[in-house]
Structure 1
Amino acid sequence: MTRGWAVVTGAGNGIGAVISRHAVKEGYRVAAWDVDAAGLEALAADLGPACVPTVVDVADEGSVAAAVAALPEAPSLLVNNAGIARFGPLLTIAAADWRAAVDVNLTGTFLVGRAVAARMIEAGGGAIVNMASINGIAAAPNAGAYTASKAGIVKLTEHMALEWSGHGVRVNCVAPGLINAGMSDAIYADEEVRRLRQARVPQGRLGTAEDVADAVLFLGSPKAGYISGQTLAVDGGITKTALASMPRPKSVDSVGVDEGAAAREGG
């Protein structure tokens, strides 16, 4: 079944490349956008004629406008995946590094989202999936602008959904957790860090690029037709573990049971 065109930004490697592969398997033709020409060339060689690679700087409005104008038709799906990290303490991170992360992650999502949405609206609708992070849900230290930019994407998603859902464009967001792929490769190359991190995930494992791609393709599909303005954390449950690490005396674990028993007995 042909699903039309899907635009995937940051498609040249990592999670973006996996999303592109999944989209082709689902029947999309993929407009793969990235600043990494070599990565795009490798992806296109892998996916064949179903993938049309284009070098696009998502932070440059002119580059985005030219790429959108070159699309043969309005895409039915946009995946705003392009992102960078410039980590460092807030007290010392260079303003240029802060701006670079905000420009690509947040402004890039806005520029591409707005330009593609305009074509979708003309064609009668479509679906947009923005890529945030659990860093945009719970702040991480020494993350530079990454946390702020990803939190901005969560709210930008809600804003886009409010303005565009009435025009037939659904907008949702995926927030990956501890994913053993993409920009996290360097983190999980350290086996001890990998062991400690995956031990904190309730499901007992790190996530994969495939986990993220499955969530993205679901939100972009008709199966999610009544979902808009939402952020889906693909994190194995780790964002819900704040109380799991808190000290707790075993003696209190039976208090609720005793009170319930007393209530049933009329005590």
Structure 2
Amino acid sequence: MTQAWAAGWAVVTGAGNGIGAVITRLAVKEGYRVAAWDVDGAALDALAADLGAACVPTVVDVSDEDSVVAAVAALPEAPQLLVNNAGIARFGPLLTLPAADWRIAVEVNLTGTFLVGRAVAARMIEAGGGAIVNMASINGIAAAPNAGAYTASKAGIVKLTEHMALEWGPEGVRVNCVAPGLINAGMSDAIYADPEVRRLRQSRVPQGRLGTAEDVADAVLFLASAKAGYISGQTIAVDGGITKTALMSMPRPRSVDSVGLDAARESD
């Protein structure tokens, strides 16, 4: 007989480092027992040593269907939560991007989300439902130059989330997506190691700061909670508002900053 956990079981992919590790820690704090999946066994072991019995580490390659199916079958019960966080970046201009880089980004990011989502959803449906949170990116909402296969794979996750929500919603499974913005964690560590790049980037964010892994984890656990019980098929950008700033840098005459009846009278 397995031990009961307050919030049931959760599966977090890409749990060994960065945002995935922070999500795992918060899920444990919220009462989940977490099946932490990653290809980095050493990182998983370190995480499990810190979290104890609440974290069960398993080396899983999300792009390998056999690996995924075996890991899902090994779960002692159906998870209440799945966080499809595993991802990989392969940047570069499309004209020179190696096809191998394109394939691995799509295989890990998009195909991995599909394979894990399908396998876990089947168990959730058998048990009466659950919540899935997929991890996209603001790159999947607004294209960025030289982002290689990353943008396309993350945009695919946004639409895959909608597809999953439509098909699995009637079976009791809610599916949503989180799209992190300029987050000072995980794969972005190398970007923000340059102080000037960091300063320039955070100056473009309306909130005036970079996001944290904790900001992303909070959004994920909110979408998993009963407070988000009527939310499904949505993509939540955790970005400090940066995806809404397209017009902020556009030139604009001051004369149009007051437009309306009073302004029209003043111009007469």
* TM-score (norm. length: structure 2): 0.96
> Could you tell me which residue of structure 2 aligns to residue 216 of structure 1?
220
SS at match of 2:248: helix
| Corresponding position: 1:134 with 2:131 | no
> Could you tell me which residue of structure 2 aligns to residue 149 of structure 1?
153
Tell me the CA shift for residue 56 of structure 1.
0.1
| Corresponding position: 1:30 with 2:34 | yes
**Uncovered stretches (5+) of structure 1, i.e. residues with no partner:** none
Tell me the CA shift for residue 261 of structure 1.
6.6
> Could you tell me which residue of structure 2 aligns to residue 14 of structure 1?
18
Q: What code does the residue aligned with 2:137 have?
A: S
Q: How many Å separate the matches in 2 of 1:10 and 1:254?
A: 50
SS at match of 1:244: coil
> Could you tell me which residue of structure 2 aligns to residue 175 of structure 1?
179
Consecutive aligned runs of 4 or more in structure 1 exceeding 3 Å deviation: 259-262
C-alpha root-mean-square deviation of aligned residues, in Å? Answer: 1.3
Q: 1:229 aligns with which of 230, 233, 252?
A: 233
| Corresponding position: 1:112 with 2:120 | no
Q: How many Å separate the matches in 1 of 2:73 and 2:188?
A: 33
1:137-161 deviation digits (Å, cap 9, x = unpaired): 0001111100000000000000000
Q: How many Å separate the matches in 2 of 1:102 and 1:190?
A: 28
165 and 261 in structure 1: CA distance in 2 versus 1, 3 angstrom threshold = farther
* TM-score (norm. length: structure 1): 0.97
1:49-82 deviation digits (Å, cap 9, x = unpaired): 1000000000000000000000000000000000
Identity %: 87
Tell me the CA shift for residue 252 of structure 1.
1.2
1:21-44 deviation digits (Å, cap 9, x = unpaired): 000000000000000001101110
Tell me the CA shift for residue 260 of structure 1.
7.4
Q: How many Å separate the matches in 2 of 1:253 and 1:52?
A: 57
> Could you tell me which residue of structure 2 aligns to residue 50 of structure 1?
54
Number of aligned residue pairs: 263
Tell me the CA shift for residue 256 of structure 1.
2.9
SS at match of 1:202: coil
Match runs of 1:185-264 below 5 Å:
185-256=189-260, 258-259=262-263
Q: How many Å separate the matches in 1 of 2:195 and 2:44?
A: 30
Tell me the CA shift for residue 251 of structure 1.
1.5
